[in-house]
Structure 1
Amino acid sequence: MISAGLAGLAFADGWPGRAQLPALAAAVATGVVIAGCTVVDGTGVHHSQTVIGYIAWLFLCQGPVLPLPALARRGRPLFAQLKPVCGIGLTGGAVSSLAYGLAIWAQAHGDLATVAALRETSILIAALIATLLFRERSGRLRLTAGAAVLAGIAVLELAHP
């Protein structure tokens, strides 16, 4: 039910045309990578001794490596380019790390499929932001799809008390 609702939200404006196929392919590839990461994280955190330890090792191993492509592409000017946005970047990174840590914690303490489905419902928040802040029309199909997602969440909650 959640998946059908999310698909309804994604295709609320109609089926993509030829011009949108590259974006659709990128979205599908992103979904496959997210699904793979979710399975790896869920398996990893269940096999680790502590949730905090798992998260710390992930950040320790990935953190120093992730900036390398940007540094390789832009070189020394990268530091000057980052300086004006350093504060907002660090704040965004901290919030993102906290959100990721909470998702890993949830995977360690709950059913992986349920946590993964609930995690992807953030698209409802994106749809709400699009409607309230960017004045996009929600329409009947988007409201129905959003209701399907919420109903799916309720079913999950009832199935796993």
Structure 2
Amino acid sequence: MSLGVFLAVLAAAFLHALWNALIKLGTSKAGGMLVLSIAEIPIGLSVALFRPFPDAHVWWWLIASGCTHFCYKSFLVFAYERGDLSRVYPIARGAAPMVVALVGAFALADAITLHEYLGVAVLGFGILLMARGVFTRGEDRKLLPFALGSACATATYTMIDGLGARVSGDAVAYVAWVFVVDGLIFTTGILLWKGFGIVPRQGKAWAVASFASAASYGAYAVSVWAMTVAPLAVVAALRETSILFAVLIGWLAFGEKMGVDKAVAAVVIVAGVVLTRL
């Protein structure tokens, strides 16, 4: 991997942590996620309209992905309403590859190797350490099921999109339409659920959430590009430095408490993820 690609993937990891931080920053997490989803629609269309239109059978994958993203975003909103970025993000981000690896182990013969099993064990230990901090520091325990729910949804849409992109035959178009479908489903669902009172009235909220949406697309686009010019496993592992970025942003920008236990747990989670990806 060249230095340029290395730095680009690090930038993508930072962007992923950044858009989560921007959603956490707003007073209304659901309102921020709503604006992010609305902004996803024109971003996705700006790419999709210049690619071949998906075949009919691809739309089942896109709709499934959009529904799963709705669950992912909803769980993430609930978790951020109850916990710190530096606590929620490592659990939500770190548990997802563990779920994928475990499901793969049961669903597919010889799906994971010995060092990947070791990675799952390290991941589990790191997540337990991070979750333990919720109890020892008197934080809202309800963040845990929501963070883990977000991780399960992430694992689900990862598998859906991986298969859907293959079925479509055009990964770029598929990802663009995922943004469009995801944006439409979440926007419609959250407005029916919460009502129009959830729509932010401040221009700053729209600007911040729209930037978060652009950062989300940029993070994914850079990662996809990097996987075309560098080893997939190395890129996938390097992307997980986003966990460390999120912890640092929470500590330095939001003033979240940073004990040794939280820092160690974050490093252990990153190590576990790297082992499962390499």
The one of 185, 208, 223 aligned to 1:88: 208
In 2, Cα distance between the equivalents of 1:53 and 1:28? 30
Change (3 A) 1:87 1:142: closer
In 1, Cα distance between the equivalents of 2:221 and 2:252? 28
The one of 244, 258, 262 aligned to 1:137: 258
The one of 112, 116, 131 aligned to 1:11: 131
TM-fit CA distance, 1:151 = 4.2
Deviation per CA, 1:107-151, whole angstroms, max 9, x where unpaired? Answer: 78735xx83x66555222222223333162331x33433443454
Counterpart contact for 1:51–1:104, Cα < 8 Å = no
TM-score normalized by the length of structure 1: 0.65
**RMSD over equivalenced CA pairs, Å:** 3.9
Q: Which residue of 2 aligns with 1:25?
A: 145
Q: Percent identity?
A: 24
In 2, Cα distance between the equivalents of 1:143 and 1:84? 32
Greater shift, 97-106 or 14-23, is seen at 14-23
Counterpart contact for 2:130–2:265, Cα < 8 Å = no
The one of 45, 70, 74 aligned to 2:196: 74
In 1, Cα distance between the equivalents of 2:268 and 2:204? 43
Q: How many residues align?
A: 152
Counterpart contact for 2:168–2:174, Cα < 8 Å = yes
In 1, Cα distance between the equivalents of 2:176 and 2:134? 43
Structure 1 residues without counterparts, runs of 5 or longer: none
Structure 2 residues without counterparts, runs of 5 or longer: 1-118
In 2, Cα distance between the equivalents of 1:88 and 1:28? 26
Change (3 A) 1:90 1:129: closer
Q: Which residues of 2 match residues 51-62 of structure 1 at below 5 A?
A: 51-62=171-182
Q: Which residue of 1 aligns with 2:185?
A: 65
TM-fit CA distance, 1:33 = 0.9
TM-score normalized by the length of structure 2: 0.42
Say which one has the larger Rg: 1
Does 1 or 2 have the higher relative contact order (CA < 8 Å, sep 6+)? 1
